[in-house]
Chains A and B, each alone.
Chain A
């Protein structure tokens, strides 16, 4: 399982499912300046950037991936803005070619003589921060299920789809357990769909990363998310190890009370797929222009 080669003729699907409810406008604990929604949008934009770069061959972007970015809050649907708005599932080459905008920034690189220089770079943006409305998690998961039912029917031998779900609160439209299990029951010949969950909080709480045992979770909602989180396959465990994250066979793709660094790692590990070296973007940018 989870060993199918990802090619243009046998691509895989990645779903980034984002809580965009009103509470996402709250800051992280101890950081009054940074809203959760701002940080999450930045991480998602960098994740999309990373996926594009992985698929870039000189002047061509090869369609190894199809990507959905689904938001839920006041509305449930695609979170892409700009030319891709309203599209559920987008080829990675279209992601590359149709960002909302391309911003200018700087990257610090070695100058070859023991020092560093800053060089100008361009970085694209596909989604804007959004925080509005309630938390219709079940409706959002149902939309993801519908997208993936079609995908696995059309790609029966492909590397299974990966869903990276990020939320800061409990569902406002029911228990997500049932639809979560429905998603995890979808499969290709290479294994079941992978559903990973990351819960973030504004409260000062101890984070729990990639547990293998739900008894460490005292919160009922945390246990619900644990139960609809897939086990981390071997390739993802290897990516976690490269990032220095403690995860072991049996660990679920689940983080509770995640802080900003945990969120970044969640996306890096969750998009490592076939054991690719995680793209460490956090140190890249030094200044926005």
Chain B
């Protein structure tokens, strides 16, 4: 888990939270968060637990994407994944792997990804996604956009993810989702990995406003331990699937 941080530059406020599965160390968390306030790009990725080198793949995707100026259309994003996958697999070629790691590496790595670029001056945003990590746009405490999944019941255990070996997984290109939207003063965006996205959408669907407000106050506060305990309680109550958690909150203030 990383500490929720508050950073402010111009008109964007950020908060972020990473927390591993129960019984796992922070170093074993395979969700990743990155942002670049120079171009207002924000991204999260969720490395597939079963995949080879999933943590590095998730880290590499978000860290590289926020530094780019392209990779916002489906075709460009696929080229970006292909390029990054070659870099990742090249890093493996230096390794002397046991037979079982070799077998895993042969299939490549996989991660869910969602990234957003916000143009504050133009009052617009553009997002690109592959997999089940989600972007939720809130305006006046209402969900006005949710992608690529918009309902809690639509999550499943076999999402199509961003592959490091695009040659073996070419059909994944068809699952890329891109979307644009408008922006108003006070809009909030949440980038969420799948388990916490499903949880958030469900409590919104149920209009469990007490729970929502409790989460919002903890997420916006400075007590990281209480926020961790809150999610642990949700896991224990089986309202939240026991999976890595990544939340990146973005609040836009337009002057």
Per-position 1/0 for A2-43, Cβ under 8 A of B:
000101110000000000000000000000000000000000
Judging by beta carbons under 8 Å apart, are A123 and B53 in contact? no
Residues of A within 8 A of B98 (CB): 59, 96-97
Residues of chain A in range 108-147 having any CB-CB distance to chain B below 8 Å: 109-112, 119, 121-124
* CB-contact partner of A119 in B23, B97, B106, under 8 A: B106
Judging by beta carbons under 8 Å apart, are B168 and A56 in contact? no
Judging by beta carbons under 8 Å apart, are B168 and A122 in contact? no
Residues of A within 8 A of B50 (CB): 54
Residues of B within 8 A of A97 (CB): 98
Judging by beta carbons under 8 Å apart, are A122 and B102 in contact? yes
Residues of B within 8 A of A107 (CB): 106
Residues of A within 8 A of B53 (CB): 58
Judging by beta carbons under 8 Å apart, are A53 and B103 in contact? yes
Q: How many residues of A contact B (CB 8 A)?
A: 26
B153 on the A face (CB < 8 A): no
Interface range on chain B (Cβ under 8 Å from partner): 20 to 34
In the bound complex, CA of A201 to CA of B116 (Å): 61
Judging by beta carbons under 8 Å apart, are A96 and B100 in contact? yes
Residue of chain B at shortest CB distance from A110:
B168
A200 on the B face (CB < 8 A): no
Residues of B within 8 A of A8 (CB): 23
* CB-contact partner of A112 in B101, B102, B168, under 8 A: B168
In the bound complex, CA of A110 to CA of B53 (Å): 22
Residue of chain A at shortest CB distance from B158:
A277
Judging by beta carbons under 8 Å apart, are B52 and A124 in contact? no
- Within the complex, what minimum Cβ distance (angstroms) separates B47 from chain A? 10
A61 on the B face (CB < 8 A): yes
Assuming the A-B contacts A9-B23, A112-B168, are A121 and B103 also in contact, with contact meaning beta carbons closer than 8 angstroms in the complex? yes
B170 on the A face (CB < 8 A): yes
Judging by beta carbons under 8 Å apart, are B97 and A59 in contact? yes
Residue of chain B at shortest CB distance from A102:
B99
* CB-contact partner of B100 in A61, A110, A111, A119, under 8 A: A61
* CB-contact partner of B104 in A58, A99, A122, A123, under 8 A: A58
8 A-B contacts (beta carbon < 8 Å): A5-B242, A53-B103, A54-B50, A107-B106, A112-B167, A112-B170, A119-B106, A122-B103
Where the two chains meet, the residues of B that have a C-beta atom closer than 8 Å to any C-beta of A are 23, 49-50, 52-54, 95, 97-104, 106, 166-168, 170, 242
Where the two chains meet, the residues of A that have a C-beta atom closer than 8 Å to any C-beta of B are 5, 7-9, 52-54, 56-59, 61, 96-97, 99, 102, 107, 109-112, 119, 121-124
Other A-B pairs, 5, CB within 8 Å; known A56-B103, A112-B168, A119-B106? A52-B100, A58-B101, A58-B104, A111-B167, A122-B102
